[in-house]
Structure 1
């Protein structure tokens, strides 16, 4: 391989590493939004109060960093999906949302910026 190709491949790899995997960009959030039992199942997983699906386990791993950076490594599609789900939890289960905030941001360091992120239009 020529050195220029190696540099190009390295740059593309670094660029892709700036975002979370696009594996879940096509995740169907409608079942969560339409079925309170499923939404609360994910919420309980995130709070470590119930079992987790494999997808929920993956999501739970990135919650701390996504909160700290206001989803800085999220793709545009991931940002849209996350906002939809969080808005649903906030609207239908404010007590669960408060628990999530307390679990993942006990010192309230990131709430203001994250709230601004959630309030942004898609």
Structure 2
């Protein structure tokens, strides 16, 4: 789902189909990234244009299409929880960034609408 494209879930690497994405980056402070315009901008540029990617952001960029299409089958619970936090903030407070990411990774709005409905059911205010 689209929720993976967001910044704090930059902790994923390629793995075999039966495995989960790595938990190596589970301690990344996603609130710090979202709250820092410079960091957030760097992650967004990497995801959208492939510019100046850090190793973790580059890995996210590589696996993102698969994760979106599979509904994040390989995600751990931590990945999902952090992604929900990020998406909630981006949808409510930074819609211009959210819209850029959707245009890049979900131009037909197939996955983003499903995820938005899921967030609402779980009590997020989107």
Distance 1:95 1:33, change over 3 A: closer
Q: Which runs of 4+ in 1 moved over 6 A?
A: none
TM-score normalised per structure 1 = 0.72
Query: Is the contact between residue 83 and residue 118 of structure 1 (CA under 8 Å) also seen in structure 2?
Result: yes
Q: Which residue of 1 aligns with 2:88?
A: 87
Q: Distance in 2 between matches of 1:27 and 1:117?
A: 24
Aligned length: 108
Q: Distance in 2 between matches of 1:67 and 1:114?
A: 10
Q: Distance in 2 between matches of 1:69 and 1:113?
A: 13
Q: Which residue of 2 aligns with 1:10?
A: none
Distance 1:112 1:76, change over 3 A: same
Larger radius of gyration: 1
Query: Is the contact between residue 26 and residue 79 of structure 2 (CA under 8 Å) also seen in structure 1?
Result: yes
Bigger helix share: 1
Deviations 1:14-72 (A, max 9, x none): 8x933111212222213213212211211121111632111111111222122223322
TM-score normalised per structure 2 = 0.70
Structure 1, unpaired ranges of 5+: 1-13
Describe how 1:99-118 pairs up with structure 2 within 5 A: 99-118=100-119
Distance 1:40 1:99, change over 3 A: same
Query: Is the contact between residue 50 and residue 58 of structure 2 (CA under 8 Å) also seen in structure 1?
Result: no
- Is 2:57 the counterpart of 1:67? no
Structure 2, unpaired ranges of 5+: 1-15
Q: Which residue of 1 aligns with 2:48?
A: 47
Q: Distance in 2 between matches of 1:97 and 1:73?
A: 23
- CA RMSD in angstroms, aligned pairs only: 2.5
Q: Distance in 2 between matches of 1:26 and 1:86?
A: 18
